[in-house]
Amino acid sequence: MSVRQSLLAILDQGPCYGYQLRTEFDRRTGSTWPLNVGQIYNTLERLERDGLVERADADENGHVFWAITDAGRDEVRVWLGSAVGRGQGTRDELAIKLALAATLPGVDAGAVIRAQRSATLRRLQELNRGRDAGTNPTGPEDLARSLVVESLIFTAEAEIRWLDHTEQRLAAHPDHALALELNTERPRRGRPARAAASAVDARA
């Protein structure tokens, strides 16, 4: 989630001060992604450095307002008009954890899956209760919150399906047949053994 572009999009509606930006962000995301004021001011300073916002006047209470620049408005338009990139690799901790558990000798990958499934089911129940409490949204803030909550629900449901799928795949390999022992061949410093071997073959 881009805090940078989110704050710019809010400032595109008019100048705000730091705490006001946090409140506006909460209103538009159903308070599902908490931001602290320090994070907001650090982001504002970077945006100012990049010429996307500028400091405006302070009010009678000493609140310093920030205003978006033309370059900032251009960035908002590009962000809103672009798809969110997911990347080719994965940094999903659960996927990496299960991939390791499935190949580490002596690790019960099934137990890892069961523990995660229980936690995800509890989370899904909490999300469903929250969704049910906010049925029939009556205003834009309720709608914003429900959109985020429903996204989290669909993600949790997909995670449970993937865990079930993974459990079935591992069941086809009893006695931890997928276990990988440590490779005893020592690679050269900074170069994996396979890459080094390929280089030698290429020179032959």
Q: Are residues 103 and 73 in the same domain?
A: no
Contact present, 10 and 67 (Cβ < 8 Å): no
Q: Are residues 163 and 109 in the same domain?
A: yes
User: Is residue 18 included in any domain, yes or no?
Assistant: yes
pLDDT tens-place string over residues 57-85: 888 888 999 999 999 999 999 999 888 77
User: Is residue 156 included in any domain, yes or no?
Assistant: yes
pLDDT tens-place string over residues 158-196: 999 999 999 999 888 765 567 777 777 776 776 555 655
How far apart CA 196 and CA 187 sit, in angstroms, is 8
How far apart CA 45 and CA 156 sit, in angstroms, is 36
Report for 79-88, 113-122, 143-152: range of highest mean pLDDT:
113-122
Whole domain around residue 168: which residue ranges? 93-176
Structure tokens at 9: 């999009």
pLDDT of residue 77: 94
Domain with residue 74: its CATH number is 1.10.10.10
User: Is residue 86 included in any domain, yes or no?
Assistant: no
How far from 60 is each of 21, 57, 64, 74, 150, CA to CA, in Å?
A: 18, 10, 10, 31, 41
Q: Are residues 66 and 104 in the same domain?
A: no
**Sheet strands (E) in the chain:** 53-58, 64-68
Q: What is the mean pLDDT of residues 28-35?
A: 79
User: Is residue 202 included in any domain, yes or no?
Assistant: no
Q: Are residues 172 and 98 in the same domain?
A: yes
User: Is residue 103 included in any domain, yes or no?
Assistant: yes
**Threshold 0.75, pTM exceeds:** no
Q: Which of 108, 97, 105, 89 is nearest to 162 (CA)?
A: 97
Contact present, 75 and 5 (Cβ < 8 Å): yes
User: Is residue 200 included in any domain, yes or no?
Assistant: no
Q: Are residues 104 and 61 in the same domain?
A: no
Q: Are residues 64 and 122 in the same domain?
A: no
Q: Which of 53, 37, 39 is nearest to 1 (CA)?
A: 39
Q: Does 156 or 101 have the greater pLDDT score?
A: 156
User: Is residue 33 included in any domain, yes or no?
Assistant: yes
User: What's the total number of domains in the chain?
Assistant: 2
Q: Are residues 69 and 100 in the same domain?
A: no
Q: Are residues 116 and 169 in the same domain?
A: yes
Last residue of a domain, one of 80, 102, 119: 80
